[in-house]
Structures are given as C-alpha cells and as structure tokens.
Amino acid sequence: MPILVHKYGGTSMGNIERILSNARRIAADIQKGYQVAVVVSAMSGETNRLLALADEIDPHSSGRERDMLASAGEQVSIALMAMALHKVGVEAVSFTALQAGIHSDPFHTRAKITSIDTSRLREVLDRGGVPVVAGFQGVTDNMEITTLGRGASDTSAAALAAALGAERCDIYTDVDGVYAADPRIVRGAKKIERISFDEMLEMAGAGSKVLQTRSVVFAKKYRVPLQVLTSFEDKPGTMISEEVKEMEDILVTGICSDKTEARITLWGIPDQPGIAAQIFEGLSNQGISVDMIIQSKGQDGLANMSFTVTKPDLSDAVRVTEKLIDTLKARQMGVDEKIAKVTIVGVGMKAHGGVAARMFRCLADKGINIYMISTSEIRISVVIDEDYTELAVRSLAKEFDLVDESVEEKGA
C-alpha cells in the first residue's frame, strides 16, 4: 500500500478547528487507499513564545536548555493531532523524535538528522493507524534532545518520507504553492506549477521561505516528490520533482531575496596556499556554514577575502575569525550586516546564454551596485545593499517575465 507523508506547519496547526480540518483531510487520503504518516510543527507563534521566556531569563542560555524548551511546542501539537484523528475515527499514535527514532548530530539549535529507525512507525502504519511525529526535533546517541533549526519540520517530513519510502510528501502551509517571486514584494508574481529539485534547492538556499533547504536535499537524494499546498483551500499547489524536458523552455523560473546574511571581510591576508583552509576549517569545526566567498589579489603579496554567513551564526563566526587574525597577520577585519542576497534560478540557463548580462544590466539601470557574485549552472546570486532589495526583485521579475501582468494591472 503506498505511503503519503503529510506535514502541517504552524499556521495549519493554529487552532482546534484547523487541526480537526487536517484530521479530516488525512482520513480522506486513507479512504483513497494510502497509508499516511504525519509530521507537525508547533502551533503558530508557540516556539517564539517559548524562546522569549528563555530570553527573559538569559538571552545567552545554553543551547541544550533552549532545545529542551523549544521542543515542547511540537509535543503539544502531536498530542492534539492524534486526538483529532481519534475524533474522526482514525487510529493514531503520537511520537516525539526520541520515540520515532529520529537521530541527529549533537549541535544544539542547528542539529542535522543522521538516521531514522522507522520500526515503531511502521508498526502503526501496518495496522492501519497514523503515526503523528514531532517535527523540528532529533535525539543524539547520548539521548540528548536537539532541534534542527527554525522551519526544520519540513526537513523532518522529507527525511521521514525518504526513510519510509513514501510515494510523496505533501507540505501543507499557509500559501498555495511556490511563486516565481515573493507576492508580498511583487504584485502579480506567477505561481509555479512544477519545479525541479535542483531549482527548488537553489531557491530554498537563496531565501525562499516556502521550504527549508535540507528538506529538498532529502527529497532529491531519495527521489521523493514534494508537493506544497495550502491547508486552507482545496486547490492545486506546486509539485517539486525530478527535472523534465519542458522545464528547460523557461529561462528563469524564480527570483529570491535574503536579508538574513552578513558579510565578513579580511584585508591584507597572505596570498598563499593554506590560508583559506585555515579560515574555513575553523568555521566548519564550529558547525558554521559559509555561503558566498570572494577573494581579490591586493599588493605586496597580500589578498582580501570576503565571505557571508547567516546572522544567527555571525557572532560565532566573528569570534572564530578574530582568533585567526594574529595567526594570519591580517591587517583588518570588517563586518557588514546591511546586505541582501538576490538570486535568479532556472534550468533554462543551461541552454541559453546572456542571462548574467541581462541581470547585471537590469540592476545597473536601477543604480544598484553589486558587491559579490556567485553562480552555478542554474543560478546567479548577487550581494547588494539591503536598502535596494525590493527594487532589485521587482525589476528582475519584470525583466524575466515572472509577473502576471493582468493581476498586476488589476491591483494598480
């Protein structure tokens, strides 16, 4: 019997009426012949409320205790969802990450899933029941509770779908799919009906708020299609799957912006082998991910290097980098938090040239300066002053035909 995984986000779990509506949807899929496993987030605003309590006591409280506190929100949700399923006549059993066998590494507040033992979940599925699993959580080999980072219930769902060999993972949220640009910035942004794993991975990594990057990584690796739908209406969403030929006909599929990164610059470092390795090994050892990197050759055998990290990791990244300044004999270090990353994505770039030139000309015509550039086969990202973010996104959306002009005109 095919397996579906449903994931319900915080807004979809926002009140009892919505939870009961979710339960009826799950029951309907069971009637269609599916086995269904469910992953839920904490109720809307609950994680923020819990962490605000921690901050009142100590904003610098330990990651272990913050994880213990933050994970409580999902425990409430799994119990309520299981009760709702019982109410509509479906057997259900709630599971914390520990009970569900979701194992993680030991990095508190940003742990990564290492394995899932699905044996207890399969027992429930095999007798026609629904396992309701807490998203956002993991457990270490030492039985410590971890959290996977904000928004990581998507990752929990995709990982669980992969572990169960699910036919599909349906992500229910408060938006009705993935849009070519943020509709809050671009009026009339087109909704994407189908997008490849690679494109979605690039968009998620570039600031799209619809899915977390790691959820798409799991889905791509194990070839589990993802579907993004709204839990508030019965309407088609966006299917995320392997690439099909027709996708290459579209030059640019989407555009994203991200204001959650900061730039660290080192001036006057030795221009010799091993320097970059020292810097990035030190960051990696602290579990800090680096996004964009640029190095330029200076004078007198010296070089300058800039790289970006997420703002939550900034203080740790600065601390690690400062320790290396004397070792590297760097002349100066600077930090810039007033930046934004703007990215265009599309598998069509592989078959069509001149996309970068169009992007850079479009930004130049609006007086927007580019600080850093990064590319892949299907992505071009630039770092700009964050004050120009919305202007850049709107301009590029029009340049690459990502706006439904009829909708835009109605709103004008």
| CATH number of the domain enclosing 274 | 3.30.2130.10
C-alpha–C-alpha distance, residues 62 and 144, integer Å: 13
Whole-number pLDDT of residue 298 = 74
Instruction: Inform me whether the pLDDT recorded for 266 exceeds 70.
Output: yes
Report the pLDDT averaged over residues 253-276.
Answer: 93
Residues 165 and 259 in one domain: no
pLDDT: which is higher, 122 or 175: 122
Is residue 332 included in any domain, yes or no?
yes
Q: What is the pLDDT of residues 69-110, one digit of tens each?
A: 999 999 999 999 999 999 999 999 999 999 999 999 999 999
Domain boundary among 174, 196, 219: 174
> Do 291 and 158 share a domain, yes or no?
no
Beta strands in 46-184 (DSSP E): 92-95, 102-104, 113-116, 130-134, 137-139, 145-147, 168-173, 178-179
Six token digits for residue 307:
């790289």
Q: 254 and 386, same structural domain?
A: yes
pLDDT above 90 covers what percent of the chain?
A: 83
Domain carrying residue 266: 246-412
Report the SS3 class of residue 237: coil
In a domain, 355, yes or no: yes
Three-class SS of residue 313? helix
The number of domains in the chain is 2
Judge whether 179 lies within some domain: no
- Are the C-beta atoms of 156 and 137 separated by less than 8 Å? yes
State whether 111 and 29 are in the same domain: yes
Q: Is the dihedral of CA 344, 345, 348, 349 positive or negative?
A: positive
Does residue 182 lie in a domain region?
no
Tell if the pTM clears 0.85, that is, is over it: no
Q: Are residues 261 and 116 in the same domain?
A: no
Q: How far apart are the first and last CA of the chain?
A: 50
Q: Is residue 60 part of a domain?
A: yes
Q: Is residue 228 assigned to a domain?
A: no
User: Does residue 361 form part of some domain?
Assistant: yes
Cα 351 to chain center, whole Å?
A: 27
Residues 119 and 264 placed together within one structural domain of the fold: no
Q: Are 53 and 159 members of one domain?
A: yes
Q: In whole angstroms, how far apart are CA 192 and each of 20, 179, 242, 259, 318?
A: 29, 5, 15, 23, 39
Read off the tokens for 113.
């899933």
Cα dihedral sign for 224, 226, 227, 229?
A: positive
List, in order, residues 6 or more apart from 140 with CB less than 8 Å away.
103, 104, 105, 106, 111, 146
C-alpha–C-alpha distance, residues 386 and 210, integer Å = 21
Among 131, 158, 174, the domain-final residue is 174
Evaluate if residue 385 carries a pLDDT over 90.
yes
Q: Which of 41, 38, 15, 14 is nearest to 25 (CA)?
A: 38
Residue 24 has pLDDT above 60, yes or no: yes
Q: pLDDT tier at 316 (50, 70, 90 boundaries)?
A: very high
C-alpha 16/C-alpha 153 separation (Å) is: 20
168 lies in the same domain as 279: no
Domain-embedded: residue 108: yes
Residue at which a domain ends, from 174, 193, 220:
174
- Report the SS3 class of residue 232: coil
**Phi and psi torsions of 12, nearest 5°:** -70, -20
| Domain CATH number, residue 46 | 3.40.1160.10
Averaged over 111-117, what is the pLDDT? 96
> 410 pLDDT exceeds 60?
no
Same domain, 263 and 409: yes
| Beta carbons of 258 and 341 less than 8 angstroms apart | yes
